[in-house]
Each structure stands twice: as C-alpha cells, then as structure tokens.
Amino acid sequence: MTFTAHDQQSAILVDEAALRFHLKTPSTSYVMGVVNGGWLAHLYWGRAVRRWNESAPVRYADRGFSGNTDKNDRTFSLDTAPLEYPSYGSTDFRDPAFHFRWEDGASVSEFRYKGYEVKQGRRTLEGLPHVYTEQEAEAETLTIQLYDELKQVSLYLDYVVFPDYDALTRSVRVVNEGDEAFTVEKLTSANVDFRSGDWELLSLYGAHNRERDVERGPIRHGSTVLESRRGASSHQLNPFFALVSPDTTETQGDVYGFSFVYSGSWRGAVEVDQFSTSRVQLGLGTLDFSWEVTPGSSFQTPEVVMVYSSAGLGPMSRTYHRLYNERLIRGSWKGKERPILINNWEATYFDFDEQKLLAIADEAADAGIELFVLDDGWFGRRNDDTTSLGDWYPDTKKLPNGLKGAAEKITSKGLRFGLWMEPEMVSADSELYRSHPDWCLHVPGRRRSESRNQLVLDYGNPDVRNYIIDKLTTVLEESPVSYVKWDMNRNMTEASSRLLPAHRQKETAHRYMLGVYEVMETITTRFPEILFESCAGGGGRFDPGMLYYMPQAWTSDNTDAVSRTRIHYGTSLVYPPSAMGSHVSAVPNHQVGRITPLQTRGHMAMDMNLGYELDPTTFTAEEKAEVSRQTARYKELRPLMQFGELYRLESPYEGESYAVLRTNADKSEAVFLYMHRLADANAPFIRVRLDGLDPDADYRVVDLDQTFGGDELMYTGLDIPMITSDFQSFLWKLEKIT
C-alpha cells in the first residue's frame, strides 16, 4: 500500500488509492479503510506498526442469516464486517452506533463513505468540554464523511490524534443537508469493532461513599452494557472502561481505555457476536434521549478519549494523567500546586456560627493549613438539608458580619477563604422556589420527586442560568473567595422541561448538561483566579467533563483511610492525583465507624490533594504536633504527590496492602507510600518491588537513611517493617544520588 497523501512524519497517513487511513502515535496505530464499494471498515487498533500493508485483511464468507447489501455477492454482509460506524436496519444485526427516526417513521439508513479531510490542529467543540491544544502542531484531525443519499444527511467522524500525548479522541457530528427533520435516538461518540473477543472488561462501579471500585472479568457472547441513566455521570458507574487482554497487569498486557468527556447520562457497551468479534461503544445515554435535527442544522456529540497500552494498566493511566493534567484541565490552576485546606463540614455540619469558624481557622492556621472552606449551611435559613437551596445570601444569624465579614477575618489570619455552593438545585422550601415553581424539572400534574429534600433546576432555561450567574457573581464579588466547592446532591427525576415542545422533551437532560457547562464556563472565566472543586455527594460526577471546568473534584464523601485505598486505586486508573481531593477526618470515622491512627489518615490523605475535615479545636497537643508535621511534610512533597508520575505497586483489591510510588520527570526524586490494612499474627515478611525508577542510578531512601540501586529496588524490592498492628503506613522519600 502507498500512503502518499501525507508525509511519514504525519500522525495521519492516507493511502488515496486504496482508501486506507492510518492514525499513528508512538505507541499505537489505528487503521480504517473503505471496503466493498463504500463501507467504512475498522481494520486495526493496537501496537504501533511502521507500515500498514494489510497482512490480515478483512475476510468474507457466505454466512447464513446475515443478509447481503449486494445480491450478487453472498459473502459480504454488514453483519459480519468490522465496521467503523455501523448503522441500523440494513443487514447488520449487532448494536448500531447510531439510530435515527426519519419523518416517515422508519429508522433504516445507509451511510457510505463520501470523503475525508486532514487538518492540522483540532476543531473546538463549542459548548462541550474537550481535550484542547495549545498549539496547532500538537494535534492532527482526520474527518471522514459518511453520507446517506436518500436523506441527504452527513455523518462526520472526527479523529483527533495527539502524537505527543499518545492518545486520540473521537466524536461525531450529524448534519442535515436535506429538507426533512429527523430525530437522533442514538449517536455514539466512538465505536470500535475489534476482530477478536478474547478480552476482559475492566470498569469502575460504585455507590455514594464507595466510588470507583475496580471490577474486571471476561466478556461473554451477547451485550454487556455499562451506563448511567441518572442525568449525571454517576457514583454507580464511572464513564470509563477498558478492554484488556486476560494476562494484563500493571506492567503487561494489551489495554484499550475509553474515557468519556461528559458529565450527564452515558452509555457504554461491549457486544461479542456469533464470530467472537467484539463491538465496543461509548457515548451519550440513550434512555429518554432524542434530539431533533431540522434541515440545515446539526448535532455534535461529546468526545471519547482512547488510549492504548501494550504494557499494561500503568502506562495507560499515566497517559491519561498527563493528557488530563496538561490538555483538559485549564486556567490558572492548571499544573499549579493546590493548597492544603480545612473544610468545616464534618467538624460542624450545619451547626456553626462565626465564632466557631474563627476558632477552627485559628487552629488550622497554626497547624500550617492554607485554605479555610466554609461548607453547606451559610445561606438562607439552612440549619439542615430541608431548606434554602437557591437563596444565595448569607444567614446573618450565623454570620452577623455577613459572609464578607467572616471571610475577611479568616483571610486576616493568613488563610485563603473558600465557599461551598450547590447552584444547580432548589429546595422546595426556599424563596426561589416560591417565586419560580416552574424553574425546576417537572412534569405538570405529576409528583415532583424530592431527593435530599431538593429539586433540580432546569438549566436548559436561560432565565434560570442568568439568575444563577447573577447570584454567584454577587457572592463571589462581595467576599474574598479564592476557592469554590460546586456541589450537586441528587440525580434527575421527572426530567422534563416546560420550555420544550412535546416532541423535544427527550432533549431535556442533555440540554441541562449543556446549560451547566455554559454556566460553569461563564463563572470560571469571570473568576479566573478561583480554584473550583466539583463535587456531587463526593464523587458522583468525577468525570473529564467536569475537570475541563474545575481542575479538581471531591473524590468521595467517604474519608476513611481504609476505604480510600480502594477509592484512590480505582480513581487513579484514569484521573490524575492533582484532581483528587482527600481529607483527614475524625475517628471513629463518620462513614464507617473505623478508628485508624492519625498518621495513617494523614498518609492516605497526602496520597492525593491533602485537606482536613475535622474540628482542630479538639486536638490534643500530640495531635496538633502530628498535623503540623503532616502539613510541613506535604508542602515538601507536594509537587510529587500532586503532579508526579504515578506507579501503582500493590493493589488493595488483591491483598491487605496499598502501595504507590511517584517519581518526578527526570526520576531524580520519588515518594513511596505503603499502607497495610489488617495485621496478621506471625505474618510473612513483606517486600514491595518498586517501579518507575532509573535502574542505573542509586537512590537514598531518606527516611531510612539507606542507599540502594534503582535496579535493586525495582527487581528485588524494598523491605517493609514488621506489621504489628492494623492500619500501619509508611511514607518514604527517595533521592537519586548524583
């Protein structure tokens, strides 16, 4: 084959004559081609190959019960070909990538290859979060046009290749060039027809307080669907999964990661068919979703970030971390060290006044904490969770000097001031709801189901968005706020908008999400110096969509050090440590009742973005000294903890221990963290093999005052002291000897 259209340095190689498209990054090749007179086939995705010469072409055979698009060729069926963006209703019986309902009610479509375009850089996805470039040269985009002659509708498949980041993204745009409106019922962002079915599926399921638990198992014939139908990316399943070869570990195996840059309902699916090929899809949720595309208009999907690793899960995660840290997270906090915070939620819940806050702030400042966050309960008449969401003005009973007065007193102690808000919600008992009962999602005549006593504002409504933007702007302009925790504490029910006509009701949930993104874009642009942390009852919306607007997220409401081993491990599969909030809280722990040592709680919180969520006015002298030691240590290690390259060493899913190592870019420094859950009597000795070091260099383990070779530490391992009690942990710094 001759790939002539683009030079060999290009990330996108095209063979014009054979119509083959070869996308290339250092680790991976992704190849498509036009087969049998117009169908776009998927040919390969995997380890990078220098040249595509079709050593394994698509093979055809006459297969029973798989109809033919050309009656003279019984060997070709869409049902048996590996397709790039398969359609419904004309011989492919597998899960279609898209589903349109035409004006006549039929859903059959026939999209054939029409053309392609290669461009330097990438197109911005207006109104949608996406991986961006800082310079055009960082990315190349291949757009392939598929066309339905009868309906005059085009599908544009966008492939953005980021060679330096070893990743590619995919999204789809449907454009109505005809003269009849139609309805999109499904439009997946990425579809990959793998030519084998010998995979395991790894996904992150969970619940409130138990987010992103790793689950892995063989896929079976038939479909496996992973989805959220909640109007949020959800605690229950994160919008990420990977197909892995059965031998996959942290350091070996074929891994294909799919991560969806979206915060609302989503759907992922893997279907293994009769010939054991597997079709993988990821995109917008399909239940109660549709979108009308009128003549001359278009619809754009969010994007999926696809990462391949031939060397296991570790490299996949580090690729996502670097890409998300550098080309998803934006603004003045991108790459910048995050402050150590104290949050008053678990210290006081709703029961506080200015004096109490100032007492907490005094102790916090003394202990080396840098930011004070005032959580829920500072506004309206909010003494519990039954009231006042929407009434964004300070409760002067609790804060007699207003928010401004309290904030100024706190900042005068040398702390920054941060504030909690939940701008997408309204309490039934609120002034806002009493004056605008129609501003929440609801179906006339039906019950408005409450969850945590609250309703969801209709962010598809511009009046709602403008009202919220005004209120937030006032609050943030009036007080010296340098951090905002943007919370969201329920999922959608009665997802219906009063602004939409009957046939567009199913657009409500996606319009809501677009509205949220618009408000977030406005507020974060208006207040560029504020550090925003997204939250949804902990990690109910921990997704790349949110990270585009808010560089960190509250990982989980569960602050227990043991639970956190699993949560950190699972979350770190995709999301960078810089994005994860992690707090030391009081014992017995408020979520699980467990008592763990303060040192271990400190270590597990330092694993990500360190914060405290307890009442420091109750500290003993010893506790106060320990917390001061922790904040001092964290400040020293912070660049590594937040932005170092992460190597997972011991999985809490496999045994009692959790161990990770971070290195800086030139591997001259590293930090090793080890946490052991339950101790055992007369237990075997423990040795952990490190990873990510320079094998040719020597390293001093500073805390042990011992020196070892990098090779020795990685191939032989590092001894862990005898574990003599539950929940012991160690945090050791390593320095390369020069």
CB within 8 Å of 684: residues ≥ 6 apart? none
AA letter at 696 = D
H or E stretch at 117:
strand 112-120
Q: Which of 289, 420, 467, 699 binds ligand DGJ (CB under 6 A)?
A: 420
| Window contacting ligand DGJ (CB under 6 A); options: 476-484, 535-543, 616-624, 669-677 | 535-543
* Cα(303)–Cα(282) distance, integer angstroms: 9
Tell the smallest beta-carbon distance from residue 266 to ligand DGJ (Å): 21
8 Å CB contact between 25 and 31: no
Tell the smallest beta-carbon distance from residue 548 to ligand DGJ (Å): 20
Tell the smallest beta-carbon distance from residue 101 to ligand DGJ (Å): 39
| Window contacting ligand DGJ (CB under 6 A); options: 230-238, 255-263, 531-539, 595-603 | 531-539
Q: Which of 95, 166, 557, 691 binds ligand DGJ (CB under 6 A)?
A: 557
Enter the DSSP assignment of 363.
Answer: H
Going by C-alpha positions, the residue among 735, 291, 231 that lies closest to residue 494 is 231
8 Å CB contact between 647 and 692: yes
Token pair of 535 as six digits:
């939250």
| Window contacting ligand DGJ (CB under 6 A); options: 32-40, 173-181, 532-540, 600-608 | 532-540
Q: Which of 537, 581, 602, 652 binds ligand DGJ (CB under 6 A)?
A: 537
Nearer to ligand DGJ, 457 or 649 (CB): 457
Tell the smallest beta-carbon distance from residue 489 to ligand DGJ (Å): 5
Nearer to ligand DGJ, 548 or 554 (CB): 554
Tell the smallest beta-carbon distance from residue 485 to ligand DGJ (Å): 6
Query: What is the per-residue binding string for ligand DGJ in 438-477, x denoting contact by CB under 6 A?
Result: ----------------------------------------
Catalytic residue among 557, 560, 607, 691: 557
* Tokens 């007179």 -> residue: 37
Nearer to ligand DGJ, 130 or 235 (CB): 235
Query: What strands lie across the sheet with 706-709, from one edge to the other?
Result: 645-650, 657-663, 669-676, 728-736, 698-701, 706-709
Under DSSP, is residue 575 helix (H, G, I), strand (E, B) or coil?
A: coil
* Cα(74)–Cα(492) distance, integer angstroms: 48
Q: Is 21 exposed, middle or buried (0-12, 13-18, 19+ CB in 10 A)?
A: buried
Tell the smallest beta-carbon distance from residue 241 to ligand DGJ (Å): 25
Nearer to ligand DGJ, 432 or 731 (CB): 432
Tell the smallest beta-carbon distance from residue 599 to ligand DGJ (Å): 24
AA letter at 416 = R
8 Å CB contact between 89 and 104: no
Tell the smallest beta-carbon distance from residue 557 to ligand DGJ (Å): 5
Enter the DSSP assignment of 617.
Answer: G
- The residue sitting closest to ligand DGJ, measured at its beta carbon, is 376
Catalytic residue among 79, 148, 158, 487: 487
345 binds ligand DGJ (CB under 6 A): yes
581 binds ligand DGJ (CB under 6 A): no
* Cα(122)–Cα(11) distance, integer angstroms: 13
92 annotated active-site: no
Nearer to ligand DGJ, 241 or 392 (CB): 392
Q: Which residues pair with 155 in a beta bridge?
A: 146, 174
* Cα(97)–Cα(143) distance, integer angstroms: 17
HEC string of 658-689?
Answer: EEEEEECCCCCEEEEEEEECCCCCCCCCEEEC
Nearer to ligand DGJ, 321 or 490 (CB): 490
| Window contacting ligand DGJ (CB under 6 A); options: 97-105, 181-189, 510-518, 533-541 | 533-541
538 binds ligand DGJ (CB under 6 A): yes
Distances (CA, A) of 45 to 149, 156, 259, 273, 451: 30, 20, 16, 18, 44
489 binds ligand DGJ (CB under 6 A): yes
Going by C-alpha positions, the residue among 150, 151, 142 that lies closest to residue 175 is 151
Nearer to ligand DGJ, 611 or 616 (CB): 611
| Count of residues interacting with ligand DGJ (CB under 6 A) | 11
Dihedrals phi, psi of 617, to nearest 5 degrees: -70, -10
* Cα(342)–Cα(595) distance, integer angstroms: 20
Nearer to ligand DGJ, 201 or 419 (CB): 419
Nearer to ligand DGJ, 190 or 421 (CB): 421
Going by C-alpha positions, the residue among 496, 558, 549 that lies closest to residue 527 is 549
* Cα(367)–Cα(249) distance, integer angstroms: 41
342 binds ligand DGJ (CB under 6 A): no
Nearer to ligand DGJ, 79 or 376 (CB): 376
554 binds ligand DGJ (CB under 6 A): yes
8 Å CB contact between 146 and 157: yes
Nearest-Å Rg of the Cα atoms of the chain is: 27
Tell the smallest beta-carbon distance from residue 554 to ligand DGJ (Å): 5
Tell the smallest beta-carbon distance from residue 377 to ligand DGJ (Å): 8
555 binds ligand DGJ (CB under 6 A): no
487 annotated active-site: yes
Nearer to ligand DGJ, 227 or 557 (CB): 557
Tell the smallest beta-carbon distance from residue 344 to ligand DGJ (Å): 10
Query: What is the per-residue binding string for ligand DGJ in 675-694, x denoting contact by CB under 6 A?
Result: --------------------
AA letter at 296 = G
Strand ranges inside 163-277, DSSP E:
167-176, 182-194, 200-205, 213-218, 222-228, 237-244, 255-260, 266-272
Query: What is the per-residue binding string for ligand DGJ in 364-403, x denoting contact by CB under 6 A?
Result: -----------xx---------------------------
Token pair of 288 as six digits:
């109660």
Positions annotated as catalytic residues are: 487, 557
Q: Which residues bind ligand DGJ (CB under 6 A)?
A: 345, 375-376, 420, 487, 489, 535, 537-538, 554, 557
